[in-house]
Structure formats: C-alpha cells, structure tokens
Amino acid sequence: MTKNKILVYDTTLRDGTQGEQTNFSAEEKLRIAQRLDEVHFHYIEGGWPGSNPKDMRFFEMAKTVKFKNSRLTAFGSTRRAHTKTESCPNLKALVKAGTPAAAIVGKSWDLHVTEILKTGLDENLAMIADSIEYLKSMGKEVLFDAEHFFDGYKNNPRYTTKVVKTALAAGADVIVFCDTNGGSLPHEISAIVKNISSSLPLSSAAIHAHNDGGLAVANSIAAVREGVVMVQGTINGYGERCGNADLITLIANLQLKLGKNCLPPESIKQLTSLSHYVSDVANVPPLNARPFVGRSAFAHKGGVHVSAVVKNPMAYEHIKPELVGNHQRVLVSDLAGRSNVEYKAKELGIDISKDDALSKKIVHEVKLMEDRGFQFDAADGSLSLLIKKTIGEFIEPFNLETFSVVTSRTENNPCLSQATIKISVAGEEELTAAEGNGPVNALDHALRKALTKFYPQIKDMHLVDFKVRTLEGSEGTAAGVRVLLDSTDGEEFWSTIGVSENIIEASWQALVDSIEYKLSKEKNLNIK
C-alpha cells in the first residue's frame, strides 16, 4: 500500500439511510454511487440486499454500471444461530447482489451474544467463521464488521479479541472496529486499538464510528493515528440517532492536516460540491456550519475579523477554502464596519473603497434595516441587491401593480391557494393567476408565470427552503415575522429575506429579491 494511504469506505447508502428524514430511492442511490465513484472513493456500500426489495433492485441496476474507481459492496449479517450457511437467505442475497466485496456484521460484545441473540459464545464464533468462509468460497472480498467492538473490549477483552481473531483466521480481508453505540472517547479508541494490534495486523483494520458523543470524526482520527488503514462513514454524517462519522470532515482533516493520502487532490476540491449534491438528493437542507464545506465555514462577520482577513486570510482561516472547493465570505450586519461593506461590494465587481460617504451610507442603511428585523448575514442575495440599488447599479426589472391571494378549503379537500398578480415590465402589463398548496407557493407560481415571458432565464431557478420566524415582541399573532428563502439555479445558492407584520408581505419581499438577485447577474437587463 502507498505510504500514508487511507482507504475511504462510504456507507451513506446503507447506514446513512437509517437516519431520520434520510431516504433514497434505488435510482437516487445509483446516482449517488456514481458520484462517489467519480470522486474516487475506494468502497461504496450500496445497501442490505437481504433486508428489502429496494436494495436488491439497486444492486440489479448497479450491474449495468461500470464503476471505475470504487468497489461496490453489499452488506449483510452472519448466518443465524444453528443454521447452515448454504440455506441462509441473507448470505444467498449477498452472493446474488453480484458485488466484488461483501461486508457482514457479527457480534463482538458478549452481552449482545447472550442477551440479544440468545445464543452461546462458541456458536457466535462459529456463525462468524462459517459465514466468512462461505463468502470467500464465492470469490468475495470480505469485510467483517465487529459490532460493538469497543464496548465489548471494555467489558470482556478476551472474548472480543477471540471474535476478531476468528474472523481473520476464517479469511476476512478487513476487520472493522465498530463503535456502534458511539459513546467511546478518543483516548479509549487509541488505547484499545493499540492493545489489539498485538493480536492482528492493523494493515487489515478499519474504524467505523458513530457520533452519539459528538466524537465520531475525532475517534476515527485517533484510530488512524494508531495505524488503522481504512475509515468508514457517511457523507454529511447522515445516520441513525446522531449519525456516523462525517466523511467530508474526516477526509479533509486526514489529508489536509495529517498528510494522509485519502483521495486525489482534485477530489478533495470536490468535497463541497459532493456534500451539497448528496444533501440535495436527500432533500435535507445543507448545514451552514458544517466544517470545511458549509456556507459559514469561511464566513466572517465582525468588522475586526474582516479587516484582518483582508490583510491576511490566515488570521482567521485554518486552511485555504479553495482546497475543499469552498470560498471565503464576508457577512454584513449591524456588527459590520466599512471593511465588510467594501469587501462585499468588491465581490460584486464594485470598488467603493475610495468613497467614504457611499460606504457609510450602505452601512447606515444595513443597520437601520437590521433594527427593523432584517438579517443580512443570513440573506446574501438581498444584501447584494441592497448594495447595488443603493449605489445605483441596479434598476428594478419589473413593477408590481397588484396581487391577491385566496385560500379555500372544502370538507373533503385540503386547503388550496390561488394567487392573481399583475406586473408591468417597461410599460407592458401582464396579468396571470396560479394555484399552489399554500399562499406563498401560489404567489411564487404566479410571479414566475408572469415574468417568464420577459425573463425566460428564471425557469432555471427554484426555491430550496422556506423559513419563517416570529420576531421578538408582545403583539402575539400581530407580531412581525421574518421570512428567509433559499434558492438555486443549479449552479449557485442564495438567500433572500423579507420582514413585515404580514407573513404574505414578508414572503413577497423575499420572493421578489430572490428573482431580482437572479436577474441582477444578467448583463443584458436594465443594469447601468
């Protein structure tokens, strides 16, 4: 193996889908698997073919795809107690999946053997050995997941050691140390891996950590530092309970901080886009604060911080964001100084650094609006528009004449909203109507329908997320609300904001800003 080489094993398509609100169709799983292959992941665990028809269908579909860089892996368990391997449906399904590698899980904690499986310790060893030998006889590379390895070792190190030695003797190619309950600490991981190294070579070992203590990445790094050569986890840390080790964060730390060779450099630069891609397919909004790849990972808000990073990014950034495909962002809020505003304007191709009066005007306007409830550090699209409009670099592309929204419900049907809207563009009026499953959805449909005639490029954009927050106050249902919209055109994400005592009005403001931001990037519109 290449020096400092660390193999990356992804289980997003199996372990990741055990998390709440994370689910993929067979077709979506295949798309993600192909994306992981493009990024040069070494192993892709596609699912458990013996547990459900969808996973078996995925493996059938995968047989028509040539994976250039990754070994597709099917997951299952050892044979059941006191049964023959040849008659075990689970093992048969692993063979039928047709993958070059198979991962099987077996108990390595005596508590699970006696209290959960309700079988004997020796029978458990036989189940492990028989299953591995069977899969090896079928030409499979076999990875043995020693479930609850660390908890088992803490309680009965002698038996847990016997389990992994049995698996290795039976022909397992990789022994996976699983912190299944996710409750171990890094120093415990280090000590146990070091102790077990006298019983089996760590060149055949992997780490599979869950995140129940918030330490899955740290625990995985601890195991690698002791000599483990494979890391397992999921994209974005998706998984059961608190999730699995986040491979995005783990790979970035191993390669950029510890000098390990996980993926090619060009793949490391795709970590941000990979994170967002899987998030989009999963229909789970990206976590802004996700290390390395989140929108806030290299975002600076305080005026002192911004002034420093303009001089030297190293002052407040631990790596160059471009290394992982991310970029530096400067936020503007009521905490902002002129440095923030000038930086943001420069991003838009506008130099106001020599115009003190203009910088102060923008800062003043931002602080006034934030006092009313706006939050520009969470709405970069609205902020860009504010700057352009304040300095006269953007003219409104359309005018609202009127709109109305009606929501109705019948006894046997859910609520349905209808929006009617009249706008004018360069003196030409357009009147349209549209339906939606809510007032904002109906307004969005009607506005796009009216504008598409004049600006067909807005067909490329769509809303990703819609958030409403009641502003602090004592007005009850009459209190002000803040609406935040996240939008994308497939290439860029942006956020816009609206604030009003009326939720429809606040939503309208955010909707208009969302479309105007898209149009503000076009050079053939009414832009000076």
H-run or E-run covering 31 = helix 26-38
Question: Taking 60 as the threshold, does the pLDDT of residue 150 lie above it?
Answer: yes
For 39-56, write each residue's pLDDT tens digit. 999 999 999 997 889 999
pLDDT tens sequence across 1-37: 567 899 999 999 999 999 888 889 999 999 999 999 9
If one compares 367 and 220, the residue with the highest pLDDT of the two is: 220
475, pLDDT greater than 60: no
Q: What is the spatial distance between Cα 313 and Cα 336, in angstroms, rounded to a whole number?
A: 18
pLDDT score recorded for residue 52 = 86
Residue pair 355/345 in contact by the 8 Å Cβ criterion: no
Tell me the sheet residues that pair with 77: 105
Residue 520 has pLDDT above 70, yes or no: yes
Gap between the Cα atoms of 199 and 227, Å rounded: 14
The arithmetic mean of pLDDT across residues 241-260, rounded, is: 97
Alpha helices in 181-317 (DSSP H): 186-196, 216-226, 247-256, 265-268, 271-282, 303-311
Can you list the pairs that 325-329 forms with residues at least 24 positions away whose Cβ atoms lie under 8 Å?
325/269, 325/270, 325/271, 325/272, 325/273, 325/293, 326/272, 326/292, 326/293, 326/297, 326/298, 327/298, 328/298, 328/299, 328/300, 329/295, 329/296, 329/298, 329/299, 329/300, 329/380
Compare 356 and 454 and report the one with higher pLDDT.
454
pLDDT of amino acid 116: 92
- Residues 6 or more apart whose CB falls under 8 angstroms from that of 370 comprise 333, 334, 376
Please state, rounded to an integer, the average pLDDT across all residues of the chain: 89
Q: Using one digit for the tens of pLDDT, what is the confidence trace for 100-141?
A: 999 999 999 999 999 999 999 999 999 999 999 999 999 999
Please say whether the beta carbons of 399 and 423 come within 8 A: yes
464 has a pLDDT exceeding 90: no
Asked whether residue 476 carries a pLDDT value surpassing 50, the answer given is no
Is residue 524 scored above 70 in pLDDT?
no
Global pTM? 0.71
Q: Quick one: pLDDT at residue 528?
A: 33
CA-closest candidate to residue 380, choices 292, 510, 522, 286 = 510
In percent, the amount of the chain with pLDDT more than 70 equals: 94
416-436 confidence digits (pLDDT tens): 889 999 999 988 999 999 998
| 3-state helix, strand and coil shares in percent for the chain, rounded to the nearest 5 | 45, 20, 35
> Of 523, 472, 519, whose CA–CA distance to 499 is shortest?
472
Q: What is the pLDDT of residue 492?
A: 82
- Dihedral sign (CA 435, 440, 444, 449): positive
80-84, 221-225, 383-387, 511-515: range with lowest mean pLDDT: 383-387
State the pLDDT at residue 338: 65
Of the ranges 62-71, 256-265, 368-377, 441-450, which one carries the lowest mean pLDDT score? Answer: 368-377
Q: Could you identify the residue written with the tokens 């055109």?
A: 489
Sign (positive or negative) of CA dihedral 44, 152, 125, 169: positive
pLDDT of 393 reads 79
Q: How confident is the model at residue 200 (pLDDT cuts 50, 70, 90)?
A: very high
Q: How deeply is 75 buried, as exposed, middle or buried, from its count of CB atoms within 10 A (0-12, 13-18, 19+)?
A: buried
pLDDT for 477 equals 43
Q: How many CB atoms lie within 10 A of CB 385?
A: 23
Contacts of 322 by beta carbon, 8 Å cutoff, 6+ apart:
269
- Length of the chain, in residues: 528
Mean of pLDDT values over 89-107? 95
Domains and CATH numbers, the chain: 7-263 (3.20.20.70), 299-390 (no CATH), 398-454 (3.30.160)
Distances (CA, A) of 339 to 135, 343, 362: 63, 6, 12
* Residue 409 in this model has a pLDDT that exceeds 90: no
3 state DSSP class of 464:
strand
Distance from the Cα of residue 210 to its chain's centroid: 16
Contact 362, 308 (CB under 8 A): no
Confidence (pLDDT) at 334: 53
User: Of the candidates 219, 236, 317, 324, which has an alpha carbon nearest to the alpha carbon of residue 278?
Assistant: 236
What local confidence, expressed as pLDDT, does residue 478 receive?
A: 46
115-129, 171-185, 188-202, 452-466 — which is least confidently predicted? 452-466
